[in-house]
Amino acid sequence: MSDTGRKRPWLAAILAFIYPGLGHVYLREWLRAVLWFGLVFSATALLVEESVMAPLSDGLSVDALLAVSQGIPTETSMVLFVITVFSMADAFYMATRENVETEVVEGTKCPNCGKELEDDLDFCHWCTTRLDGPAEPER
């Protein structure tokens, strides 16, 4: 099987660690990416007070970002951490599932049991599931 079309689950998870939803952008799962982006934005908007974000009003700088990160409550940090972990797990799962579906579509694995198929058989010799072969012409 060629590697074209295969996604790397660990790359998707690492991108989701950088920012939740970024791994889903890599997988081209646009709706899930928007949902993860929205979840992080909503959680931040609801849980972080305006006084904590005040240093950013003067402009975006490293010092301002450090001041904001130090002012975020521990509970809020834990919520954002949990969101990040779930986003990583979801991106990893989606990439793995997409790779399995690609293998089944290419016909190298049985759609029922997932084991390797013989090229010359029209059924899986492991679980005896009949495979959809080429359509026979009608007479």
* Amino acid present at 107: G
Question: pTM of whole model > 0.85?
Answer: no
Looking at residue 3, its pLDDT comes to 54
pLDDT < 70 stretches in the chain: 1-5, 103-107, 133-139
Looking at residue 119, its pLDDT comes to 74
Q: What is the pLDDT of residues 79-117, one digit of tens each?
A: 999 999 999 999 999 999 988 877 655 557 777 787 877
Other CB atoms within a 10 A radius of the CB of residue 108 amount to 12
Looking at residue 105, its pLDDT comes to 58
CA distance 15 to 89: 11
Looking at residue 120, its pLDDT comes to 76
Other CB atoms within a 10 A radius of the CB of residue 2 amount to 7
Q: Name the helix (H) or strand (E) containing 71.
A: helix 62-71
Which DSSP string do the residues of 12-54 spell out, in sequence order?
A: HHHHHHHSTTHHHHHTT-HHHHHHHHHHHHHHHHHHS-HHHHG
